[in-house]
Amino acid sequence: MKKLYKYLPFTISGIIFLFGAIGLLLWTSSYSSWTLREQLIILSPLSLEINFLLIVVAVGMVGVSFFRKSQLRNIFQEIPQKIWFNLAVLSIAGFLILVFIVPREHRIYYDEDIYQNIGQNIAFTKAEGSHYGETYLESLGSFWKRIIGRAAMCNEGKNEYGDFSCLRLEYNKEPNGWAYVLSVVFRIFGVHELASFLTNNFIYLFAVITVFLTGYLLFKDYYTAIYAALIFALTPETLIWSNTVAVEPSAAFFPALSVLCTLFFLRVRTNTAFFLAAVMTAFSVQFRPEAAMICLVSGLLFIFWGRDELKQGRFYLIASVFFVLVIPHLVNLYAVKDLGWGSSGPKFSFDYFQGNIKVNSLFYLRNTRFPAVFTILFFLGLLFKNRTRGSYQLKEKLVVVVWFLLFWGIFIFFYAGSYNYGADVRFSLLSAMPFSLIAGSGAAILVSQVMSRYKGSCVHYVLTSVIVVLFLSFLPFVRAITQEAWAARADHRFARQMAEKMPQNSIVLTHNPNMFLLWGKNAAQASLATEHRSYFNRFFYKYKGGVYFHYNFWCNVNDKVQNSFCNNILQRFNCTPVMSFREKNYKFALYKVEKKRGKK
């Protein structure tokens, strides 16, 4: 009987893997990509909601069990109070720089508006949507109607007396992890752009702490950990993008948090810690398509320090839970594989290697957007052994180097992977944490080398002062709002002023309804006036406050299809200018739209 009980976890996990794999295969092979995306509008946020709930439960269980057994307290007690004080000081200092010095600005258009609008839909859209999604939802029953939001951007929506609803949904190709996090924030604090910015601000703060704890649990050296946290906190691009609503700060933070949870489990070896690591990893892979590579890093951790776990049933049982949780994400990757990603050519190719590797390598050496002193410390950490630990720490460094190479190297083969390609330098955030960990090790090695010859604790203060002073020269760069995306930025700024002029119970036609919906207005795609003329004509009776047209960024760019939607509105209807703006050679305007007499 005991022998049968020993193999029970293996049997259960095998059954879960088998049925999960069969279900995944049947799901993806039974429906078209379009139908899969319509189903994911409902199932993606549902799976994320379940995953998030499991994380909350796991955190609670870990907190209760470890405070009782003092295992969690032991970790904190191992680190001197002065190190905790230093961590608090640098975390608060970095947060203050982020909030009061770094401009709070959108830098990737119009993705940041889309993420927020999807979060808005997940939080508040319950009963309206695309035809297939509506039919599919009906089969789930009224209970699920009340709790399931929609993971899609809205192409026609209404804000009436504080109640938001969406009439036309479109599934977005990106994973929904970041949009889901925003939906949680919106449910608590309401839909505000400030809430979105502050979410990334606090993710930066938690990321600094995560770097420190990861560095300590991995290298078992609190000096390595504190220097890694300092370097990460003062990385210019990390600061810049942490005051946007871009996905990259969270796509860097949550995978790192899953690594931290894995290290924590390998330290304490309890079921609750293992469960937390699994559900956190399942959640973390759903922020960007390449985020799943963090599983390889966790796999290395198990190979080096948890190989005995591979013989135990609980490993496969909890791994099967992870597999079930990521099935909707795997379906998402399959369903969007054929969608356009901004390029008509191949998305990944060796043809991009030569150009991208040169640009992305020099990024760390030129001392213009990234402090070269961090790069020097990185190579010190890579090449020399830690004197305080008495070893090179090969396994520890190999894990971090693989982590860095995965998330830095993937973009070398990507068509838009160059750090000089538009705003795509934001991809450097995904490898910033492992880079900081190696550089932190280099800083600790440098200090130990100097202290072995010149006694005194002032060496730490000297190195810290050098790092901070050299960082100060990057503050003008951090504060700058460059000309990249100048037209889209102007469009966004002027649109905000237009929204304030729109009367109640009015609607605006625009290429970017997401931002107007976030600001509490009614909005719809401009293409409706061309592609669904009879449906659009009802707007004149439905919205007593009037119908408006936003002459926007897409009306100015050289795109015949998008231009036609703008021109058709101006030619087929009486359009009276309400307000207009100019930025360089671009025109932005708000028109009042009325039917021409005698026209239906």
* Interval 246-299: pLDDT, tens: 999 999 999 999 999 999 999 999 999 999 999 999 999 999 999 999 999 999
Q: Is residue 121 part of a domain?
A: no
Q: Is residue 211 part of a domain?
A: yes
Instruction: Give the end-to-end CA distance of the chain in Å, rounded to a whole number.
Output: 80
Residues 439 and 515 both lie in one domain: no
Of 479, 512, 533, the position where a domain reaches its end is 479
Residues 468 and 506 both lie in one domain: no
- 443 CB-contact burial (10 Å; exposed 0-12 / middle 13-18 / buried 19+): buried
Q: Cα separation of 198 and 286, whole Å? A: 21
Domain tally, the chain: 2
Residues 568 and 448 both lie in one domain: no
Query: Taking the model in full, what pTM does it have?
Result: 0.94
- Which residue do the tokens 């049968």 mark? 4
Taking CA 530 as the corner, what is the angle to CA 527 and CA 535, rounded to the nearest 5 degrees? 90
Residues 535 and 434 both lie in one domain: no
Of 479, 507, 528, the position where a domain reaches its end is 479
pLDDT at residue 457, rounded to an integer: 65
The pLDDT tens digits of the residues spanning 60-102 come to 998 887 666 666 677 778 889 999 999 999 999 999 999 999 9
Going by their DSSP bridges, the two strands 546-551 and 163-170 should be labelled as unpaired
Q: Is the dihedral angle over the CA atoms 576, 581, 586, 588 positive or is it negative?
A: negative
pLDDT at residue 389, rounded to an integer: 62
Q: Cα separation of 321 and 561, whole Å? A: 46
Q: Is residue 339 part of a domain?
A: yes
Per DSSP, what are the bridge partners of residue 524? 156, 509
In the predicted model, residues of the chain with pLDDT beneath 70 are: 1-5, 66-72, 126-148, 340-345, 387-390, 455-457, 597-600
Contact 416, 111 (CB under 8 A): no
Residues 51 and 11 both lie in one domain: yes
Residues 461 and 533 both lie in one domain: no
Domain limits at 545? Answer: 487-595
Q: Cα separation of 65 and 69, whole Å? A: 6
Contact 327, 24 (CB under 8 A): yes
Q: Is residue 368 part of a domain?
A: yes
- 32 CB-contact burial (10 Å; exposed 0-12 / middle 13-18 / buried 19+): exposed
- The long-range contacts involving 158-164, CB below 8 angstroms and separated by at least 24 positions, are 158/522, 159/517, 159/520, 159/521, 159/522, 160/505, 160/522, 164/120, 164/124, 164/125, 164/191, 164/517
pLDDT at residue 456, rounded to an integer: 62
pLDDT at residue 450, rounded to an integer: 80
Of 451, 479, 507, the position where a domain reaches its end is 479
Per DSSP, what are the bridge partners of residue 64? none
Residues 472 and 569 both lie in one domain: no
Residues 540 and 556 both lie in one domain: yes
